Structure 1
Amino acid sequence: MKRPFEVRIVLVRTIYERNIGATSRAMSNMGCDNLILVNPACEITYEAQQAAATGQTGLQNRTTYASWDEFLEKEPESIKICFTARDGKGRQVRDIDEVLNDISDHAPQFQIESETPFVVHLVFGPEDWGLSADDLEHANFCACLPTFGENWSLNLAQATLLGMFSLRKLWGGNRTRLDGEKLRRAPQGIKGIDPDVTLKTWLEEMGFDLTRQRKINVYTVLRRMLLQNTPTKKELVILETVLQQSIRKLREWKSFQKKDLQ
């Protein structure tokens, strides 16, 4: 992205305050602080605070507008992505990933280099019927969150979380870091353990010639059987231990053979 962006979550005519609280918590997971309520159909009480748990920032700093007119008057220029699960006449709905890629590749707001963040509103409708046709009149893009089961209806807070995650996945952001300042991402494999190398050494000590160029040989077959089935860390450690022990025993046996021949 040539230009920084600011994500604001917009909940329209929300019915249940607990979903507003849970959305605030989801926002804290995704690095979004600005929560906007348009004509909410509920009051914000202790139930919303409970649902927000450790993610109170969005809830406590929320902005409430009585109508779309007030929203449009007071909110800055933005790209508004409205989420809907209904696809019908006048609703050109695409998967969120497709919409986000389209925006980053073609939206003029992001084609210019600027240090000024541009606002992106992610808009979600009420829990009963979602956004209406009148709501979608304000959308720059209509997006849906793909589902893979028979139930295509998502809880509001879950929908906001998935929408923000899709955006972060494609557009980036500052990944959460652990207390030790390390990224919350574990390295592949186990440090100091390399069954792939040990397997080759073991086969060579067993007397197999691995230098010959073959599409399939004993090494490729065993490697596929032992290492390409996503073994657990414990299984990798056990495999490494068995192979290393076998290598030591083979080398000891070869050493005794040499002494006997002398």
Structure 2
Amino acid sequence: MTPKRPFEVRIVLVRTIYERNIGATSRAMSNMGVEKLILINPACEITYEAQQTAATGQHGLQNRTTYASWEDFMAKEPESIKIAFTARDGKGRQVRDIEEVLTDVATHAPQFQVSSEEPYVVHLVFGPEDWGLAAEDLEYVNHCACLPTFGANWSLNLAQACLLGMYTLRLKWGGTRTRLDGGKARRAPQGIEGIDPEATLKTWLEEMGFDLTRQRKINVFTVLRRMLLQNTPTKKELVILETVLQQSIRKLREWKELKGRER
């Protein structure tokens, strides 16, 4: 199903180990009409090897954006739907086939149910080559997706995974196909600061008496946070949530102050 609203795809590589995979990803992006390459805390330097691997697809590599951390990324990237690719399920990970995720987003995400000429950003997120994305990385995304394989080896090369992810998205959501008649290649159109409902949610839970300091992979905050992200709320919905939580926090603090005076 094609979204009702135009979209801009951005590739996010997290803690990439080998620069050749960054170069190969840049080349794959040029095949799929994706121009924005983002690196989060890369574990390699970008040298001639990356340029050589990118070959005729240098645009993403040469115009890449690098962030030191997820916090930096979240502060500077636009509002988006973030789809993380992982081959591991279990341990609280709700992983679905990429086709199912794309159908779900196009059908139900409120960002794509409105008529707008402004493209909405979709980040496709890929982890490092050794162990992939960690649980801490997935706290920042809306959906977890896997790429189907049909052999005993389910592990994909990073650049191959990026190519397959973008290709599947193009098949599901569309784009302008490249002409193979020798003519000029056509490209698909490409293209908050403000509230912090997650911090407010944590404050609200603490005011409610929940202990969030204990080191557990899953607690009430992570569960509620994941539920919030997976429903891909709009900015307006986040503003309403922030307002409700702030009002609740004020009432709780007023009640605690009153009880303290009565003692």
TM-score, structure 1 normalization = 0.69
Mapping for residues 41-190 of structure 1, pairs under 5 Å: 41-181=43-183
Over residues 165-199 of structure 1, what are the superposed CA-to-partner deviations in whole Å (9 max), with x where a residue is unaligned? 00000000010012455999xxxxxxxxxxxxxxx
Q: What does residue 30 of structure 1 align with?
A: 32
In 2: Cα distance, 1:183 partner to 1:84 partner: 32
Secondary structure at the aligned position of 1:69 is classed as helix
Alignment CA distance shift 1:72-1:182 (3 Å): closer
- Mapped partners of 1:117, 1:103: distance in 2: 15
Task: Measure how far apart 1:143 and its partner are.
Answer: 0.1
The 1:67/1:182 distance shift into structure 2, 3 A limit, reads: closer
Take 1:180 and 1:62, find their aligned partners in 2: how far apart are those partners?
29
Find the partner of 2:23 among 6, 21, 25.
Answer: 21
- When residues 148 and 114 of structure 1 are mapped into structure 2, their CA distance, relative to the original with a 3 A threshold, is same
Distance 1:161 1:31 in 2: 11
Written as runs of structure 1 = structure 2, the 5 A alignment for 1:242-253 is none
The AA in structure 1 aligned to 2:57 is: G
**Cα deviation code 1:123-163 (max 9, x no counterpart):** 00000000000000011000000100000000000000000
Alpha-carbon deviation of 1:89?
A: 1.9
Structure 2 unaligned regions, length at least 5: 187-263
1:66/1:78 CA distance change after superposition, 3 Å: same
Return the letter of the residue paired with 1:101: T
Structure 2 distance, partners of 1:183, 1:120, is: 23
Worse-matched range after superposition: 170-179 or 53-62? 170-179
Corresponding residue SS for 1:7: strand
CA distance in 1, matches of 2:63, 2:51: 12
Query: Which amino acid is the alignment partner of residue 129 of structure 2?
Result: E
Choose 1 or 2 for highest CA Rg.
Answer: 1
Residue equivalent to 2:11:
9
Which amino acid in 1 is paired with 2:12? Answer: V
5+ long unaligned stretches in structure 1: 185-262
Aligned residues: 184
Q: Following the alignment from structure 1 to structure 2, what is the Cα–Cα distance between the partners of residues 56 and 40?
A: 18
- Once superposed, what is the RMSD of the aligned Cα atoms? 1.5
**Secondary structure in 1 matching 2:114:** coil
Find runs of 4+ consecutive structure 1 residues off by over 3 angstroms.
Answer: 179-184
Deviation track 1:11-43 (CA, whole Å, cap 9, x = no partner) reads 000000000000000000000000000000000
Q: In structure 2, how many angstroms separate the alpha carbons of the residues matched to 1:11 and 1:136?
A: 13
Counterpart residue identity of residue 109, structure 2: A
* Structure with higher RCO (Cα < 8 A, 6+ apart): 2
Structure 2 Cα separation of the partners of residues 16 and 182 of structure 1: 32
Cα distance in 1 between the residues matched to 2:86 and 2:154: 11
Change (3 A) 1:13 1:115: same
State how far apart, in whole Å, the 2-side matches of 1:73 and 1:183 are: 34
Equivalent AA in structure 1 for residue 62 of structure 2? Q
Indicate the SS of the match to 1:101.
helix
